[in-house]
Structures are given as C-alpha cells and as structure tokens.
Structure 1
Amino acid sequence: MLTIINADLHNEQHAHDVLAMLNSYAQDPMGGGEALSDYCQKNLINELKTRNTVRVVLAYAGDQAAGLAICIEGFSTFACKPLLNIHDFAVHPDFRSQHIGVRMMEHITRLAVELGYCKITLEVLERNLPARQLYLKQGFATYELDPAMGGAIMMQKKLN
C-alpha cells in the first residue's frame, strides 16, 4: 500500500527516512553520484526545521520509505505571489516504475493549491529522461517569457 505524507521533521522516523532517501538520491548518477557529507547528514534535519518555508513529502510503500520531495517556497515578483520549488525529488531505485512519482506530484500539486502558490517550479538534468517525461505528463513545461528569446537556462555559482 502506498501512502504519501507531509513529513514531520520532529518525528524521528520521518527525519531518518528523509536523510536515508536524500542520501540514496545523492549517490544516484542523477543526484551527483556521491553520498551526503558527514556535515550534511549531521545538520540537515535541524537546518530544515528552522525554515518555515520548507515542505517535505515522503512516500511510503508499506512501512518503507520509497520517495522524497523537498520543496522550498519562493516568490514570483511578476505574479506577486508565493511559488513552490521542488528542490529535491527522488524515488528509491527499488520502487521505480510503480507510479510513485506520479502520486507524489499529485500530492505536491494539491498542497501547492491549498497553500495558494501561483506555480510549482523544478529543475531537471537534460538526460534524466524518465524524470522529464514524468514532469511533462504532470503539466510542467520549459520556462520562457518570449519564444523569440528562448528558454531559461539553470545556472549556478558555487561559493564553497
């Protein structure tokens, strides 16, 4: 039986499952291929607890964690409303191809509507074709303001 919940990071089991799922995702090629640092594993849950704009969703197949989404509120200046960014989204390899990602996306969409967000955003690697197909089927599209200017490109500048 599949259950999708809004995680409570004060619940020890939820906190453990968030770290385990995120570490599994980090070790996947689509997550960078390296385990979370000791620092991250030690401090992440406490740091997330201090941020009231973080929403964490867990999927359970029976009592086993099967999926994770960490979402962070942002703000759309053009809409003058909050938005929800899916920062991390992963289904454990043992549970892929079971529509868990679809159910998690449906849950996140309902949550975003309930909380009054104007849109949901995310980033995905170009060659992560299964994830891209999921997102397209869920109504996501590449971001562009004017087709003549092309689509937005995700960029980063690492500071550490």
Structure 2
Amino acid sequence: MTAGSQIEVFLADYRDAAQAAAVVDLLNAYASEPAGGGVPLDPAVRQDLPAALAARPQAFSVLAFEGGQPVGLVNCLEGFSTFACKPLVNVHDVVVLPSHRGQGVAQKMFARVEQEARRRGACKLTLEVLSNNKPALRTYEREGFASYQLDPEFGHAVFLQKKL
C-alpha cells in the first residue's frame, strides 16, 4: 500500500458493473495462479458468474479496494449445520493480489465476512485450503480457523470432491 492509502472493504453488489467486474477479474487472477489451479476462468464463467451469484441469496462476496482499484476478494456461500440447526458460511475463495499480500487485506476482509455471517445467524465459518499453501494456512490460523474433529479416534475432517 502506498503511504496514506486506505483499504475499503464492503459487500459486493453483483448488479453493479464495476463491482461485478472486480469479482470476476480477481477470481480469474486467483484461478490463473498455481494455488488456484493455474488455468484462467472459462469465458462463459467470466460472463455468467455475477448474474449466477446475484440469483443466489445464500451467496455473498466481500471486496477490498485501494484507491478505487480492486485488490482483494472473498466469495462465500451459506450452508446449513444440521448439528447446530443454524446456517454456516463457507469461505469459498480468498484472493489478495500479490502486490497487497502481507498488508492486512485478508484480515480486513475476514472481519467483514464474520460480520455478515453473524448477521445471518451463522454458527461458524468453514473453508478448505490446500495443505502445502503455507502462507494461506498461516493467515487462516491467525484468523482463528483450525482443522476439526468430532472424536480424536476418528481423526481430522478431510475435504473430498466428486466432479459431475
């Protein structure tokens, strides 16, 4: 950040063209990095994502801007905890541009995510991270995230996927 610059953090409005573009551009930047898979978003995804997110009331995104330029994004999707009988919020994507990493941008975005999750009555935040993404793991641990288990005999939770 430049001297005197200010990071502005807010909930994205997917129907605002500039904010929708920021969501797509930041997510594309992340997808293009090795930690995001190293493949840019498909053009159809880039085109359709803002409207698809806007159509889902359980989705919200937090944007970080500095000097009118987007520098960070957190995409979230509300789920439901059957054990707590309350909503939960899954942090699905976390993006901070390389130029702004290590400057507290993620911390500010997570504070806004937590504020929105509490407003929605969520009982917890969840996220997944690749095990060798050490910088991200350190950030998430600083924000209070930890692996979980219900009974030590059964071990820690493991995230799995099946593509359709």
Q: Same fold (TM over 0.5)?
A: yes
Deviates more, 1:111-120 or 1:18-27: 111-120
Alignment match, 1:43:
48
Identify the residue that residue 24 of structure 1 maps to in structure 2: 29
Q: Distance in 1 between matches of 2:75 and 2:104?
A: 18
Note the C-alpha offset of 1:64. Answer: 0.8
What does 1:140-155 correspond to in 2, within 5 Å? 140-155=145-160
Q: Deviations over 1:96-121 (max 9, x none)?
A: 11110111111111221122100000
Deviation at 1:39, TM superposition (A): 1.4
CA–CA separation in structure 2 for the residues paired with 1:152 and 1:56: 26
Structure 2: 5+ residue stretches without partners:
1-5
Gaps of 5+ in 1: none
Equivalence for 1:107: 112
Q: Which one is further off, 92-101 or 73-82?
A: 92-101
Distance 1:148 1:111 in 2: 35
Structure 1 position 127, deviation (Å): 0.7
Count of aligned pairs? 159
CA distance in 1, matches of 2:126, 2:15: 26
- Root-mean-square deviation (CA, aligned residues, Å) is 0.8
Looking at structure 2, the residues matched to 43 and 111 of structure 1 have their Cα atoms a distance apart, in angstroms, of: 24
User: For 1:51 and 1:115, how far apart are their aligned partners in 2?
Assistant: 14
Question: Secondary structure of the residue that 1:23 maps to in structure 2?
Answer: helix
Separation in 2, partners of 1:72, 1:91: 19
Contact 2:15 2:51 in 1 (8 A): no
Contact in 1 for aligned 2:87/2:120 (Cα 8 Å)? no
2:79 maps to what in 1? 74
Give the conservation status (yes or no) of the 8 Å contact 2:71–2:100. yes
Give the whole-Å Cα distance in 2 for the aligned partners of 1:38 and 1:65: 20
- 1:116 maps to 121
Query: Which is further off, 70-79 or 101-110?
Result: 101-110
